[in-house]
Amino acid sequence: MGCPSKELSILFTDDGHIAKLNGIYRKKEGPTNVLAFPQGSPDDLFTDMLGDVVISVDTAGREAESLGEPFEITIQRLMIHGLLHLLGYDHERSGEAAEEMEKEERRLLAMIREDN
């Protein structure tokens, strides 16, 4: 991914906690599935931290059920999604950016599945 020596923090939490974070940092009401908080850019030489990924297990469970996918796959997909945000991907920028991010998500998820 181009940042082999960076640290990543992952927090698994509930809808109540992620809704608070979503309100504070994104000014959006209610829970979301995943939030990403970068600690600089991936090529920043002054910090070893890539950033933080926060995942709501409550929302992930509902997503898994509605998509008909195993909970473990949903969590992996959300972790990848958050990581890609930390690396500068942003699906809200444009339709093209969204397609690029989805393609990278599928590629990385396929790599994880191959290893299992």
Tell whether 35 is covered by a domain.
yes
Angle at 30 (CA atoms; ends 40, 66), nearest 5 degrees = 100
pLDDT of residue 6: 78
* Choice among 34-43, 64-73, 90-99, 102-111 with the minimum mean pLDDT: 34-43
CA distance 62 to 115: 26
pLDDT in tens, 40-77: 766 666 678 889 999 999 999 999 999 999 999 999 99
End-to-end Cα, the chain, rounded Å: 20
Q: For the chain, what is the domain count?
A: 1
Whether residue 2 lies inside any domain: the answer is no
1 occurs within a structural domain: no
CA pair distance 18, 15, nearest whole angstrom? 5
**pLDDT on residue 45:** 64
Cα separation, 40 vs 87, in Å, equals 10
